[in-house]
Amino acid sequence: MKADFSGLGIRHVEPVGWVFAVMNFIFLLCAVGLGLFLVVESVPVLRSEGWGFWLGENWWVGETFGALPMICGSLIVTGLAIFLVLPVALSGALFTSEYLSSSIRRRVKGVMELLAGVPGIIYGLLGVSFLTAGVKDVLNLLDGNTLFTAGFLLAIMILPMVLTLSEDALHSVPSEFREASESLGLTKLQTALRVVLPQSLPGIVGAVLLGVGRAMGETIAVMLVIGSLDRVPGFNFFVSGQTIPSKLGREAAEALGSGLHWSALMGLGLTLFVMVAVLTFSGNLFIKRSSQ
């Protein structure tokens, strides 16, 4: 061998291969660089605020930076979205996978997959025009820009994706299991709930987690309907609030590139990154465990 990369499992590489290796290195840099920059750029604000960055309730530019309102806002909005989307998406997935004929199923799936790609800005526009006013009138509020509005909008936004991916998981359960169960006298619904659903649970968890990730990271749609008010909300979800991405979206342009304010925004970014990573990681752990 001309070059020994055996530690990395790389086989003998020709000149063309080096070009590919460089491309791979660029990819590696992008991925690692993303995390690295978030950490490095957050250092100033973490130095000046310490743990108070995550525990502080006040975000006053020039004085103090506390991220708690945004962290709470993100958790509440994402939680609301999942709470709203889960029963609906699962019902839809179960019905589509187990009861619809294959031609109709394909059409439903096609529509869902197409809609899963609708940009966040479109949902933002819909939210601004209809949802905020609707929430305000129906619930008789002073202002329709609330945490609930954002959660509701996110639920609609991630519904197609969660539904179609859960449906994939349900549908991939081999039909022998259904036949075996029905031959024992179980009804179709019992089969679906007791045989098909448990078997596809890892896939469904994966689908839901992707949805959670997308909801937690969505900037534009949330930013337009949440009211952008930095305060730690209690258990009243019908008030204005702020999520990490919506805060970033509101303030990135004015803080651009320098100063403690920018560092604070990078700190928020790092926090968001860690939240999504923890979620994804624990989900993967669950999937691994349950598939053993």
Partner 1 sequence: MNAITAEKMVLALIGGVTFLIVALLFSILGVMLAKGLPAMHSGFLFDASRDFGRSGGIFYQLTGTLMLMAVAVLWSLPVALGSVLFQTEYLGAGKFKNLLTQLTYILNATPTILFGLVGYIFFGVYLDAGVSWVTGSLILAVMILPTLQVSIREAVEALPEKYRETGMALGLSRPTQIWRIILPQSFYGMVTGVLLGLARAAGETAAIMFTATTFSGIQFPQLFSDPVPTLQTHILVLAQEAANPESIAQAWGAGLVLLGLVFLLTLAAWAFRTRMVMESEL
Site for partner 1 in 6-45 (CB under 8 A): 8-11, 13-14, 16-17, 19-24, 26-28, 30-34, 37-38, 41
Please, which contacts does 120-127 make with residues 24 or more away whose CB atoms are closer than 8 Å?
Answer: 120/157, 120/218, 120/219, 120/220, 120/221, 121/220, 121/221, 123/153, 123/156, 123/157, 123/221, 124/220, 124/221, 124/223, 124/224, 124/225, 125/224, 126/153, 127/153, 127/221, 127/224, 127/225
- 259 near 47, Cβ under 8 Å? no
267 scored as a contact of partner 1 (CB under 8 A): no
Count of residues near partner 1 by CB under 8 A: 81
The span of 44-52, 60-68, 170-178, 264-272 binding partner 1 (CB under 8 A) equals: 264-272
- 208 near 127, Cβ under 8 Å? no
91 scored as a contact of partner 1 (CB under 8 A): yes
Residue nearer to partner 1 on the CB measure, 33 or 236: 33
Find the shortest distance in angstroms from Cβ 220 to partner 1.
5
**Dihedral sign for Cα atoms in the order 23, 28, 31, 34:** negative
Tokens of 65: 């930076």
Per CB under 8 A, contacts with partner 1 among 154-213 are: 156, 159-160, 163, 187-190, 210, 213
Find the shortest distance in angstroms from Cβ 149 to partner 1.
14
290 scored as a contact of partner 1 (CB under 8 A): no
Find the shortest distance in angstroms from Cβ 234 to partner 1.
26
Residue nearer to partner 1 on the CB measure, 234 or 257: 257
Residue nearer to partner 1 on the CB measure, 235 or 291: 291
Among 3, 61, 122, 278, binds partner 1 (CB under 8 A): 122
Nearest alpha carbon to residue 284 among 225, 174, 228, 208:
208
Find the shortest distance in angstroms from Cβ 27 to partner 1.
4
Query: What's 152-218 look like in SS3?
Result: HHHHHHHHHHHHHHHHHHHHCCCHHHHHHHHHCCCCHHHHHHHHHHHHCHHHHHHHHHHHHHHHHHC
Residue nearer to partner 1 on the CB measure, 15 or 234: 15
Find the shortest distance in angstroms from Cβ 250 to partner 1.
10
220 scored as a contact of partner 1 (CB under 8 A): yes
137 scored as a contact of partner 1 (CB under 8 A): no
Q: CA-CA distance, 221 to 69, in Å (whole number)?
A: 19
Residue nearer to partner 1 on the CB measure, 66 or 228: 228
